[in-house]
Structure 1
Amino acid sequence: MDRNNDMTTGVVISTYNNPEWLEKTLLGYMSQSCKADEIIIADDGSTDNTRKLIERYSTHLPIIHVWHEDNGFRKTEILNKAISAATADYLIFTDQDCIPRSDFIETHRRYAREGYFLSGGYFKLPMDISRDITPDDIASGRAFDLKWLRSRGLKCSFKCSKLVKSKPFTMLMNRITPARASWNGCNSSVWRKDIIKANGFDERMRYGGEDREFGERLVNSGMKSRQIRYSAILLHLDHNRPYKNEEAIEINRAIRRETKATRRMRTQFGIDKE
């Protein structure tokens, strides 16, 4: 049962120039058992192909398109602009390449509690299956069925246990998994007021740990994290990462070390420039 019936829920989806994957993700949000009150697409400078796709889906979903010009990897900046555009009480953060299972929003709402943020995970698909998934596979839920995926050539491993839809099993796995309940940009959620208190994401950061630093500040402020990696399920579509940059990653590491050492709760380089 959803004990947060009165709260409004928004989904923040980051995107950059991949309308094919974004469309599959949006199809997942059309099939949710609990609908989003708003879907804010944080667009880091995509071309008109993405804009046209979003316009088409805006007739089916409550989309707010937040865009800025392409000037390199500026995900943290566009996320802060998306947060400023949001009005929902509770925000779920994810990416353009993550198809949500039909109970995704419902699960985040069910586990939402004051003083906590939620940490989900994902099930990564190989490129061939990522390409082949159709709108009907998403709408019917077949894309999340392990037997169906194996018939498409998926190699089974322990990670396939994430797709087991059994509440006793998922609760057990959430409890015993060695993975830390950190802030994961593709699948995490928190109250918007707590994001504002932390001043959003640190805009100095580029690709590589920029999401984790935000979660570390939430923890420094006294918040706790809760593990839901086996309950809130996403299919992660395969893709390249041409923006990966070791120099930027090392800068990010230095910022995270400083956040940890000073127990910083609020960034000066966030939504409000201080």
Structure 2
Amino acid sequence: MSVSVCTLAFGREKHLCNLVRGLSLGSSFPDELVIAVLQEQAYDLPSAPFPVRQIAMGNAGLSLAEARNRAAGEATGDLLVFLDVDCIPGPDCVADYVRAAQSHDGVMMGEVAYLPSGATANGIDFRSFESVGVRHSERAGPPEGPSRECSDYRCFWSLNFALSAREFQIVGGFDERFRGYGGEDTDFGRTVASLGLPIWWLRGAKAFHQYHPHHMPPVHHLDSVLANAHVFMEKWGEPTMQHWLRAFVLMGLLERTPHGWRKLRDPSDADLALTRQQADQPYASSAIVLEQLEAAALS
């Protein structure tokens, strides 16, 4: 079974270099790494024991759906492993996916551990990563056995997943009507479920998420989240990203109308401060911010 690892990149050169190094230290190498490059210049990457192909998309802006589709379309492997650019694949990530693909149809999602700031300062050290990496509190933990099927399409997580190239084509890839950030992964999961394909949590196939400042809920992507929420509603007749939208309403950024959500204003410095991931946090938490907003609304 041939394996293509697919990622997309805009900036984040250090993160991408660590992704390449992580794959190079794996117990099993992919047959190729395919990178959809969302900027004008190619990356200067470390050497690797497998082919690395950079697919130039120009400065087309942050279109996650289009970039993932482009990487998958250029890939030659039987199995497609998708990793976000800020992920360092663990030593058995590729091997675990290959093993699981021999007995699982559909989408497989590996484990993710979030690293604190400074964890990669001394290079790739998987033993250290295991000791300091933490599970995201808003995501399911690894199953007790080798795998567990997820019965809710909303559990799909595009950070670290794999499926066969054939099934990716059956699904139709990511819907490119979703532009920018937000909703395209939930839509992909909804399409997978509508086709009767299973979604699996795996024990193993682990990736380590590299620290970077972030906002949750993603107020810095307010406009694309709002636009994509309407695309999802028009397509499926039901809302998505409801926890983010609820937070934005409580922050006074949006209002709910009979026809969906309407933007009231741009995020302020206070909104950015409220949602900003702090240096002592390995990840940003929408749940914590929403809890604070709900409490304030009741006071």
Q: TM-score, normalised by structure 1?
A: 0.73
> Which residue of 2 is the match for residue 20 of structure 1?
14
- Aligned equivalents of 1:64 and 1:235: distance in 2? 22
More divergent stretch after superposition (65-74 vs 239-248): 239-248
- Aligned equivalents of 1:102 and 1:209: distance in 2? 30
1:245 to 214, 217, 221: 221
1:36 to 15, 30, 36: 30
2:206 to 223, 233, 237: 233
- Aligned equivalents of 2:128 and 2:19: distance in 1? 12
Structure 1 residue 144, shift from structure 2 partner: 3.1
Matches within 5 A, 1:1-274: 7-45=1-39, 47-48=41-42, 50=43, 52-53=44-45, 56-57=46-47, 60-112=49-101, 113=103, 115-130=105-120, 132-135=121-124, 137=125, 141-146=126-131, 149=132, 171-172=144-145, 175=148, 182-205=155-178, 206-228=180-202, 230-241=203-214, 244-261=220-237
Q: Specify the SS of the correspondent of 2:82.
A: strand
Q: Contact conserved, 2:153 with 2:189, CA < 8 A, in 1?
A: no
Instruction: Tell me how many residue pairs correspond in the alignment.
Output: 231
- Aligned equivalents of 1:157 and 1:194: distance in 2? 28
Q: Contact conserved, 2:153 with 2:193, CA < 8 A, in 1?
A: no
**1:171-206 CA distances to partner (integer Å, 9 max, x unpaired)?**
349659999773322111111112112221111212
Q: TM-score, normalised by structure 2?
A: 0.68
> Which residue of 2 is the match for residue 266 of structure 1?
none
- Aligned equivalents of 1:209 and 1:121: distance in 2? 21
Q: Contact conserved, 1:170 with 1:231, CA < 8 A, in 2?
A: no
Give the partner amino acid of 1:122. V
Percent of paired sites with the same residue = 23
Change in 2 beyond 3 A, CA 1:133/1:97: farther
Structure 1 residue 212, shift from structure 2 partner: 2.1
- Aligned equivalents of 2:91 and 2:146: distance in 1? 20
Structure 1 residue 67, shift from structure 2 partner: 1.6
- Aligned equivalents of 2:40 and 2:214: distance in 1? 16
- Aligned equivalents of 2:40 and 2:20: distance in 1? 16
Change in 2 beyond 3 A, CA 1:157/1:223: closer
Give the partner amino acid of 2:110. G
Greater Cα radius of gyration, structure 1 or 2: 2
Change in 2 beyond 3 A, CA 1:8/1:174: closer
Structure 1: 5+ residue stretches without partners: 1-6, 164-168, 263-274
CA RMSD of aligned residues (A): 3.1
Q: Which of the two has greater helix per residue?
A: 1
Structure 1 residue 75, shift from structure 2 partner: 2.2
Q: Specify the SS of the correspondent of 1:128.
A: coil
Q: Contact conserved, 2:150 with 2:198, CA < 8 A, in 1?
A: no
Structure 2: 5+ residue stretches without partners: 239-299
